[in-house]
Amino acid sequence: MNNYEPIIGLEVHVELNTKSKMFCRCSADYFGKEPNTHTCPVCLGLPGALPVINKQAIESCIKIGLALGCQISKKSLFERKNYFYPDLPKGFQISQYRWPLCINGQITLDSGQVIRINRVHQEEDTGKLSHRGDVTLVDFNRSGVPLVEIVTEPDFRDVESVRDYAKKLQQLLRYLGVSNADMERGDMRLEANISVHPIAIASKASPWRLPDYRVELKNINSFRFIVAAIEYEIKRQIEALEKGEKLLQETRGWNEDKKCTFLQRSKEEAHDYRYFPEPDLPEIEIQNSDTKKIAEQLPELPWSKSKRFADEFKLTATQAQILSESKELAWFFEETVKHGNKHGVSAKEIANHLINKKTDINIVLPVQVIEELKGKRVGIIENKEELEELAEQAVKKNANAVLDYKKGKEVALQVLIGAVMKLSLGKADIAKLKPILEKLLKS
Amino acid sequence: MKLTSDQIKHVAKLANLPLTPDEEEKYSDQLSKILEYVEQLNQVDTSDVESTFNVTGQSNVMREDETTPSLSQEEALSNAPRKKDSMFVTKGVFEEQ
């Protein structure tokens, strides 16, 4: 096994969270909706219908490109990718090929390895197929939803870095707010190109060359599956090479039940897409000033935030990384630190507390964390009876919050927790208090 | 320039058109003639001319990200030759294993 080196490149498709579709004004919020209720002549591919570019989608795509350190093209064109498949009503997909919006970026993994980004381009999603026996049913709600494709160079040499890359990308997309990047819902879909070669031969070859085949693993919608599929594929390919078999260019899928990859399409059936510029869409010209404006909207990126947390608050790299995992948690941490400064509670103490107690930031307020931490120093109230008494007092004094809670407003719980904190001078243990309050409210 | 039978078959496949041997022969002639006709353009020296992909001369024609109501499900499906469970029915395409 160790005599072989896997070579992996990744293509990630990301559905943007724009309100409308890429080229028409149909709502892009299609998930779980009645079939064929989000369509119009444009996204149904009816004759004569003309597409118009969604400006927000272009900006989101450029945002992703900038965050990945890409060069933003001065001139970009949409092109038609021609093929017949029932999920594609027009007989072509509007995509980008020779003039993508963003090229030549990079991202640094935890290991320090730099993965080069070949391109970030804009295209449209296809309809959804359901296979029923000998027929296929088509729902076009998803047809035309803005899709961004992020393509890496074949820089991965192991499955761990693939996982790290995919997670980092998901985190980035959420920080940028351009996609929900939810794999289960298909907001983010992974494709891997895999080949292996014997290290001995590879190291002697000059210049270094890619193997003359690659296997494409398509449409994988979970981190776990992509890891399993790549591991399986590396093993399968090495075994084939050991047996002296010649590996061919092909597309394979992942069968989760059987835990194996399976052939979908071989090279003989390879597509000939005949890309050509989309005549219905004028070109996109991007001035430096446009790019600058979009760059100014970029939030602090997760890796910068993590580094700053470590430097500014003297946290360990792991702590900084955990606290910057989501934009929301990072915001909560920094807000808590601000309050902590006023009360002599250190950032380090707050970081430890948030990480060890796994504070639910949707329930607790930053100020409550400080109260709890201050309370801890003089004796925290953990006793069930005492907490119940405090909870009862808080409920009596806050009839409105109780009503709100019963109407389904979860935030009302925060008001009551705040009230208990006030009564207890910040000494109540919030984690223990929460179930007591909830029980009381439900009785 | 006469197109070969293989080229005709390839183009027909890409266009998703099933052709009979007679049609192959017929279209091979016709297509070859069309190509010859268009080939006359090669006589013009375009070495200094940039490709034109769009004749309007426009750029950056975009719209704000706003929605308008879609077609009703009934309207959307009204031209479908076959429908089932509010979806379009097509010939089965390759299933996973």
Chain B CB contacts of A85 under 8 Å are: 93
Residue B33 in tokens: 């003639």
Cis ω for the linkage preceding A207 (within 30 of 0): yes
pLDDT digits (tens, 9 = 90+) for B33-80: 999 999 999 999 999 998 888 888 899 999 999 999 999 999 999 999
Q: Report chain B's terminal Cα–Cα distance, integer Å.
A: 44
Question: Amino acid letter at A347?
Answer: A
Inform me whether the C-beta atom of residue A58 falls under 8 Å from chain B C-beta atoms: yes
Inform me whether the C-beta atom of residue A20 falls under 8 Å from chain B C-beta atoms: yes
Instruction: Give strand ranges (E) for A24-171.
Output: 53-54, 71-72, 75-76, 79-82, 92-95, 102-108, 114-124, 128-132, 135-139, 146-152
What pLDDT, on a 0 to 100 scale, did the predictor assign at position B97?
37
What pLDDT, on a 0 to 100 scale, did the predictor assign at position A186?
92
Chain A CB contacts of B97 under 8 Å are: 253, 255, 262
ipTM at complex level: 0.90
Inform me whether the C-beta atom of residue A186 falls under 8 Å from chain B C-beta atoms: no
pTM: 0.84
B65 DSSP assignment: S
- Which of A52, A56, A82 lies closest to B61 in CB terms? A52
Residue B26 C-alpha, separation from nearest chain A C-alpha, in angstroms? 24
Which residue of A lies nearest to B95 if distances are taken between CA atoms? A131
- Which of A55, A136, A264 lies closest to B92 in CB terms? A136
pLDDT digits (tens, 9 = 90+) for A256-312: 899 999 988 776 555 789 999 999 999 999 999 999 999 999 999 999 999 999 999
**A138 and B90: CB-CB below 8 Å?**
yes
Which residue of A lies nearest to B78 if distances are taken between CA atoms? A36
Query: Please, which residues 288-317 of chain A have a Cβ atom closer than 8 Å to chain B?
Result: none
How many angstroms separate the CA atoms of B34 and A34, rounded?
47
pLDDT digits (tens, 9 = 90+) for A359-418: 788 878 888 888 878 776 656 777 888 888 888 988 888 888 888 888 888 788 888 888
A21 DSSP assignment: -
Domains located in chain B, CATH noted: 5-43 (1.10.20)
**B96 and A133: CB-CB below 8 Å?**
no
